[in-house]
Structure 1
């Protein structure tokens, strides 16, 4: 099957209907900048080694640079009476058609939703679409300090292939290692079934969010 990823992204609905993934738009920049003001996000190595921007205006510019030219989805939670709530992003950072290789990333979920299987559900929707478009291999790069993400990916079904040592330089001049994980199209049917079963007992989040 040939890998075919359109430049224009579709709108995806997750398995339980709690979340919608839609193409990231200029309207999503401000909500994402506000989300990135949370210290907990940066404590796990978010930002590919960049320092956390100090002002809201710098966060907006950081978002623009970080998403430029990439296929990124905005993630909205649908369970509030006032309408969808922006809770994060996910998307595709690289693709290589001859080898059917796709790298996913730019995944960020609002901390109040951590531990609620939100990332699990969003990832299931994204991977369903990517594999249906012909991906043979999906990769993730994770900072070793981000133990939450590493644990989540391994539980989901990704295989840790190793650590790419001295992968990139941080702004402070230190070197950053990267853990490489992958999931293959041959593994997806069984992995997908396990992922769906894991969502069988999910509930909506508290209305106080």
Structure 2
């Protein structure tokens, strides 16, 4: 297997860059675009907490369990959000794509499917993962629908799985895409991206 190391991935609409503290101000601006940290079913960092969140993700990268990215718009050059490979199992290898958020103004513009295409292609075609996982809050219907639209299958629900930032227990929905499903998923993503134009 190829080592899961920081890498820059460039797509049609976005470039995923290895996360660094230099992304801080751009990420604060992106989070303020829609006041995303106020959405109860997500875990977007507050502007004041952004530096600590970057440090947290980088410490998990150092420990080998996460590979975090900052998402940059190819059209504007602005940082629009974050995403990660997380819960990395290098021996299998297997990754979860998660801890993802994007500025409200880019929702529905093709940036998210482009980001998923980049991460999935790298996971299946470079890292050699037999499966890629997604997890989300049971009540985050927007996220569940988006994951299902990718072509991921629901594996199950982990009841009372973890606590949200306000201490409430959440049920976590687990999805996955298997390597033999990847060609169809890739075709679907490429078809969706083509509809957004150049």
Considering the TM-score relative to the shorter chain, is it more than 0.5? yes
How well do the aligned residues superpose, as a CA RMSD in angstroms? 2.1
Change (3 A) 1:199 1:173: closer
Which residue is 2:4 aligned to?
Answer: 6
**8 Å Cα contact 1:20/1:78 also seen in 2:** yes
**8 Å Cα contact 1:101/1:138 also seen in 2:** yes
**8 Å Cα contact 1:142/1:180 also seen in 2:** yes
TM-score by length of 2: 0.86
Q: CA deviation at 1:196?
A: 0.6
Which residue is 2:42 aligned to?
Answer: 46
Change (3 A) 1:192 1:33: same
Q: CA deviation at 1:66?
A: 4.4
Structure 2 stretches of 5 or more lacking a match?
61-65
Q: Of the two, which has the highest radius of gyration? A: 1
Question: Distance between the aligned counterparts of 1:44 and 1:61, measured in 2?
Answer: 20
Aligned partner (choices 84, 87, 90) of residue 91 of structure 1 = 84
Question: Distance between the aligned counterparts of 1:196 and 1:181, measured in 2?
Answer: 20
**8 Å Cα contact 2:19/2:58 also seen in 1:** no
Which residue is 2:63 aligned to?
Answer: none
Change (3 A) 1:172 1:13: closer
Structure 1 stretches of 5 or more lacking a match?
205-209
